[in-house]
């Protein structure tokens, strides 16, 4: 789904980062720095963002390059799905966020629902593992995997958190404007399949 130039820029950045992490030869390291600079130039030219900003955000990591992990909690009540309104863009998303060091994906899902929606939940099952580039998300500088985990409410009351301004449940045919960097309509529709059919198989790219 993402444009080819973005895919190439991310691949070049990954090659450069891994090369700089493991190469000892000074001439090889110089070449990897050049590759990293090319990836930054590509990103800057295509987005119109200053090269130094791109370098700080896009090419600032060290070590072996790996995808980031975004965990989303799928919570149903009365045949409606729980969503939170994001302060950052004013659109709606499943509660969730980046995976945390020291926490399992299930623990992240539970934590995010409590922090963003005020509800206590327990994990039921895995719904899907999505590669962001395979779905109609806006282009991203990072390679991201999204893990959708179904949860069940066991306590608490709906309440917005530090990063959210509202908490509501929505019917499948009355979805709000979605924060598409976080979740797409097709992914929400897939989540509803698990509500209608508990035996729906796990989705994976």
Q: What is the helix (H) or strand (E) element at residue 167, kind and residue range?
A: strand 164-170
Whether pLDDT at 33 is above 80? yes
What's the token pair of residue 104? 């399992």
What pLDDT score does 60 carry?
83
Whether pLDDT at 70 is above 80? yes
Query: What are the tens digits of pLDDT across the range 141-178?
Result: 889 999 999 999 999 999 999 999 999 999 999 999 99
CATH class of 68-204: alpha beta
Predicted confidence band of residue 99 (pLDDT cuts 50, 70, 90) = very high
Share of the chain above pLDDT 70, in %: 100
Contacts of 63 (CB under 8 A, 6+ apart): 17, 21
What pLDDT score does 50 carry?
87
d(CA 112, CA 137): 21
- Between strands 203-204 and 119-131, the pairing is parallel
Whether pLDDT at 137 is above 80? yes
Domain ranges of the chain: 4-58, 68-204
For the entire predicted model, the pTM comes to 0.84
Whether pLDDT at 1 is above 80? no
Round the average pLDDT of the chain to a whole number and report it. Answer: 94
Residue 31's CB is within 10 A of a number of other CB atoms, namely 13
Does residue 88 contact residue 184 with C-beta atoms inside 8 Å?
Answer: no
């Amino acid at each position: 789904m993402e444009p080819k130039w973005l895919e190439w820029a991310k691949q070049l950045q990954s090659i450069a980062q891994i090369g700089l992490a493991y190469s000892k030869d000074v001439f090889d390291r110089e070449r990897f720095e050049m590759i990293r600079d090319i990836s930054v130039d590509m990103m800057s030219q295509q987005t119109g963002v200053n090269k130094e900003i791109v370098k700080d955000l896009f090419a600032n990591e060290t070590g072996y390059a790996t995808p980031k992990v975004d965990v989303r909690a799928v919570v149903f009540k009365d045949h409606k799905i729980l969503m939170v309104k994001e302060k950052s863009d004013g659109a709606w998303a499943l509660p969730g966020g980046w995976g945390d060091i020291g926490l399992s994906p299930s623990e992240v899902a539970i934590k995010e629902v409590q922090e963003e929606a005020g509800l206590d939940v327990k994990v039921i099952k895995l719904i899907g593992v999505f590669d962001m580039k395979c779905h109609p998300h806006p282009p991203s500088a990072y390679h991201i995997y999204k893990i959708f985990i179904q949860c069940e409410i066991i306590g608490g009351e709906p309440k917005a958190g530090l990063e959210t301004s509202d908490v509501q449940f929505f019917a499948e045919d009355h979805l709000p404007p979605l924060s598409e960097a976080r979740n797409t309509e097709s992914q929400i529709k897939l989540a509803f399949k698990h509500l209608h059919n508990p035996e729906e198989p796990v989705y994976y790219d």
